[in-house]
Homo-oligomer: A and B are copies of this chain.
Amino acid sequence: MAKKPELDDFRVPFFDDKGKPAKFSPGEFDPGAKPFSSGTKEGDRERLAVIGALLDGLQERLHAQRVRRVLLVLQGMDTSGKDGTIRAVFREVDPLGLRIVPFKAPTPVEAAHDFLWRVHAQAPAAGELTIFNRSHYEDVLVPAVLGDIDADECARRYRHIREFEALLADSGTTLIKCMLHISKDEQKKRLQARIDDPTKHWKFDVADLDARKLWDKYQNAYQDALAATSTDYAPWYVIPADSKTHRNLMIAELLLRAFEGLKLEFPPAKDSLKGLKIE
């Protein structure tokens, strides 16, 4: 009998400070897999709605306690579904409890600082659930592929990222990092659909296709970055993302497990309020 898949089967092996990063390649994972599916889209959507409602209650406790922080990092090639994930997974969560931070190409002011400067400013505060829509990982992936930084500079940046994430973790932040893993074929379909719909053209620039031409280089850059920065305090997960429904479900399951691990409770009742009658 085949082993039942577990979330941690999709975790990138941890970087070991004593040695080299573990061997890992996104190519080992099938972007079309649906390991956590109930078997039907309807079933998966029902489960997602259940998890969404649970996350809503857990987020309220996170906010009430104001001790822990949760940071979800979403990375992936164009059209891999970062925006769609945020919309679907957090549909049931109070928008007041959610902070979504999109990272675009650095502005001149941002580029005049170290690459973690703008990211640190957006780290979640106590009681916050924050989502990075792209992140500091763009600043190792893009320049590495374009040849703007060499292997030594990459290694330095990986180290800085590990230390930065260790600082966040030591300060009470739970980090979950997801690479939305789509196939080149699926990207083709999704890009073509955008081109064929004139109301979607505003999302699209011909220059966006340059990254697709460098597909293999980007896959290699992801491989290096994930292997060098997956740690026990900030693990990377590879999310098969050709199926949108399954992608949403799997990320929701990861978040649910992380939240449940925090043992969140409402703060104790206040004696000063006991039996109080409002006039």
CA distance A212 to B278 in the complex (A): 10
Contact A278 B188 (CB under 8 A): yes
A267 beta carbon closer than 8 Å to chain B: yes
When distances are taken between beta carbons in the complex, the residues of chain B under 8 Å from A40 are none
When distances are taken between beta carbons in the complex, the residues of chain B under 8 Å from A110 are none
Q: Quick one: which of B100, B202, B204, B278 contacts A95, CB cutoff 8 A?
A: B100
A221 beta carbon closer than 8 Å to chain B: no
Q: Which of A42-50, A83-91, A162-170 contacts B (4 or more CB under 8 A)?
A: A83-91
Contact A209 B278 (CB under 8 A): yes
A37 beta carbon closer than 8 Å to chain B: no
Q: Pick the most buried of A65, A90, A267: most chain B CB atoms within 10 A of its CB.
A: A267
Q: Quick one: which of B64, B199, B267, B272 contacts A266, CB cutoff 8 A?
A: B199
Q: Which of A17-25, A190-198, A249-257 contacts B (4 or more CB under 8 A)?
A: A190-198
Q: Is the interface of A mostly helix, strand, loop or mixed?
A: helix
In the complex, residue of chain B having the shortest beta-carbon distance to the beta carbon of A198: B269
CA distance A270 to B86 in the complex (A): 28
Q: Quick one: which of B95, B100, B204, B277 contacts A192, CB cutoff 8 A?
A: B277
When distances are taken between beta carbons in the complex, the residues of chain B under 8 Å from A273 are 195, 201, 204, 206
Contact B195 A276 (CB under 8 A): yes
Contact B95 A95 (CB under 8 A): yes
Determine how close the nearest CB of chain B comes to the CB of A116; give it in whole angstroms: 22
When distances are taken between beta carbons in the complex, the residues of chain B under 8 Å from A203 are 64
Q: 20 pairs across A/B with beta carbons < 8 Å?
A: A64-B202, A83-B94, A86-B96, A87-B94, A90-B95, A95-B100, A96-B100, A96-B102, A192-B278, A195-B276, A195-B278, A198-B266, A199-B269, A201-B268, A201-B269, A201-B273, A204-B270, A206-B272, A206-B276, A209-B278
